[in-house]
Amino acid sequence: MSVSNVQGEIVQVLVSGSTGLIGRALVPALEAAGHRVTRLVRPPLAPGEDSLLWNPPAIGPESDALQEFDAVIHLAGESVAQRWTENQKARIRSSRVTGTALLSHALAAAQIPPRALIVASAVGYYGDRGAELLSEDSPPGRGFLAEICRDWEAATEPAASNGLRVVNLRFGLVLSRQGGALARMLPPFRMGLGGPVAGGHHYISWITLDDLVGSILFVLAQNSLRGPVNAVAPNPVTNAEFTRALAKVLRRPAVLPLPASAVRLMFGEMGQELLLSSQRVEPARLIAAGFHFGFPDLEPALRHALQKS
């Protein structure tokens, strides 16, 4: 979906996580749509930057300052794509759950709060579910990521109870050559060293960065949407299908399988949950609300993301 097609009133938007992969694409898209963006950032401030300070988990934003905004888009969080030590797991939890709770409580305390809070979550909420087709109404799964996502979303309750329209966007694997999982896959695949993981039977729910940004702007403009919303393309694929499509787009062989035992040895618990878990997720609420995906099918999506004809 082209962001230029999103129609809505001009709003003052506060964005956290503006320097991440999604935030770097979202901020200019919001500005191009006519919205005014302020960044919620940790100190120090860049000279002349239109920003509001916070420093979770110690310091949340001032409630009075939040009254200037019509909407808040909260994307900040520690990366989960690293080996999980107990200390690292605590940092991941704090950055998502504690940070969101700080922001949510500050919004709830504002005398005139913003109308909407849009918060990142992830399809990790569903855990490892095999070939089960999952919608926003499906229950949470098990595991560290499922627990984090459940608590992450629950941390928005103070804002929702104070009348804000809260949307929890459950992101899938974001296709971009500029960062994220796809960018990390490219070097081995370009060398012909790619292949299916653990037999390739587990499902991957994915979305292009452009469609993800478009879905955020769509949700911002759709006052009827609230609660969990799956931000994934409508056609999830197995790992084997993903591997074949990426190899075809790159014009490289992909015949070197990676056994599950090797994934667990190299990456531990993180590898089990990120690389071996299966989530076959449908974007039921986006589709019902009328969102149009620019790239609903994987091969064209990869060609777009990688700029391959």
* CA nearest to 182, candidates 235, 125, 122, 242: 242
Which pLDDT score, from 0 to 100, does residue 231 have? Answer: 98
Identify any residues that bridge with 16 across adjacent strands, giving them in sequence order: 40, 74
Buried b (16+ CB within 10 A) or exposed e, 12-51: ebbbbbbebbbbebbbebbeebebebbbbbeeeeeeeeeb
* CA separation for the pair 66, 62 (Å, rounded): 7
Residue 231 in 3-state DSSP? strand
Domains detected in the chain: 3-174+206-232+280-295 (3.40.50.720)
Strands 237-238 and 203-204: what pairing? antiparallel
Amino acid at 8: G
Crossing angle of helices 21-32 and 209-221, in 10° steps, is: 50
Q: Residue 241: how many CB atoms within 10 A of its CB?
A: 17
Which pLDDT score, from 0 to 100, does residue 7 have? Answer: 45
| 57 preceded by a cis bond (ω within 30 of 0) | yes
Which pLDDT score, from 0 to 100, does residue 5 have? Answer: 39
Identify any residues that bridge with 72 across adjacent strands, giving them in sequence order: 14, 117
**DSSP H or E stretch at residue 166:** strand 165-171
Which pLDDT score, from 0 to 100, does residue 6 have? Answer: 43
Residue 198 CB-half CA count within 13 A: 19
For Cα atoms 268, 274, 277, give the angle at the middle one, nearest 5 degrees: 105
Q: Block means of pLDDT (10 residues each) for the chain, length 309 residues?
A: 45 94 97 95 75 81 89 95 92 94 94 95 98 98 97 97 96 96 95 95 98 98 96 98 97 94 92 95 98 98 95
pLDDT tens digits for range 36-61: 999 999 877 667 678 888 888 777 78
**What is the SS3 string spanning 31-94?**
HHCCCEEEEEECCCCCCCCCEEECECCCECCCHHHHCCCCEEEECCCCCCCCCCCHHHHHHHHH
* CA separation for the pair 75, 236 (Å, rounded): 23
- Beta carbons of 50 and 65 less than 8 angstroms apart: no
Which pLDDT score, from 0 to 100, does residue 194 have? Answer: 94
Which pLDDT score, from 0 to 100, does residue 9 have? Answer: 65
